[in-house]
Amino acid sequence: MSFVHGHFGIFDFAFVGETSAICISALLLHSDQSSEYNTKTDLTPSAMIAIRTAKTCFVYGTLMSEEVLHCLLGRIPRMQPKVILQNHSRHPVRQHVYPGVIPSTSTSASVEGALLFDLSSLDLKLLDYFEEEGVDYKRTDVQVQIPDVSSLDEDIQTLVTNNSNKDDNCLSSRILKTQAYIWLKDTA
């Protein structure tokens, strides 16, 4: 078993073996903007602003790991698994252990991942830095399908219903506009 520890920008990381991330931590984790604002009591003004401006993001690789998210953001955002990104395909990336998602011309192509909820602007900046946004990936507007809306928390159900495609009348499944990190370079 190999152990690697290093520093990348504002992140410290440690890996055991080839793919198991132990911890990736940001030095800015406990600022007001990254506090846990999904509690409904004793909200600070910055937390109330974060709720009003909270964003979502579709993830499909390393960022589906609760351990990585906790180390990166200082918390685990609410997450809906089994979310589908249509008209895209997931591929291994040359000389790396992580995947990349690229647009596909095939209408049957899809990628299963998770949808992260309650992300602040700071959370997205940390995710951008982690994903090397603009170098390896571009955070892009996409539409994802949430197959089972009825399993979501009531406030998330409301968010999904209010922000989903207005032509989508199916109550059990919704199409939601969000963002995802799309690979910019050649895959394997």
Greatest extent of the chain over all pairs of C-alpha atoms, in Å: 52
Q: How far is CA 95 from CA 57, 71, 98, 187, in A?
A: 26, 25, 9, 9
Is residue 112 annotated as part of the catalytic site, yes or no? no
Q: How far is CA 2 from CA 13, 48, 92, in A?
A: 14, 44, 22
Catalytic residue among 36, 66, 131, 154: 131
Active site residues: 131
